[in-house]
Amino acid sequence: MLITFILSSFCQDEKECCLSRVKKRQGIEVYIMSEPLRSYEITGEVLAEDASSILNALAGEEKQKDITEQVDILISNAMRKKRKGKFDFDAIITDNGQKGICIKFTE
């Protein structure tokens, strides 16, 4: 009981306790298993699939990509959709690197 009180006195606001610095990849903020505190709206979705992933899957040669490679593909796919005018975005939120939610900050 005393420990709970002590911890809660240090951490009155959950947002203050869970702050971290977001790194950018290719100039884009990427939130992995996290969410920005700033208000935003969802503008689109992208998958971490590229031509080589599809060709390798068809050939039965699936190569496991690390999170950095997956994030790079998510960003590349989102940038391509942005250039085509499908949606605009400021950042990407992903839980596992396989699928990204593109967001635009409203502030």
- pLDDT of 101 higher than 70: yes
Q: Which strand (E) or helix (H) includes residue 8?
A: helix 2-10
On the CB side of 23, CA atoms within 13 Å amount to: 4
Tokens of 95: 């839980």
Domain span at residue 58?
Answer: 22-105
pLDDT number for residue 28: 97
pLDDT computed for residue 14 by the predictor: 56
**Is the pLDDT at 54 greater than 60, yes or no?**
yes
Residue 9 domain-assigned? no
Q: What is the token pair recorded at 33?
A: 């298993």
* Residue 105 or 53, more confident: 105
* Mean pLDDT (whole number) for 49-77: 80
Q: Is 4 domain-assigned?
A: no
Q: Is 94 exposed, middle or buried (0-12, 13-18, 19+ CB in 10 A)?
A: buried
Give the chain's domain count: 1
pLDDT at 103 over 60: yes
Whether 6 is covered by a domain: the verdict is no
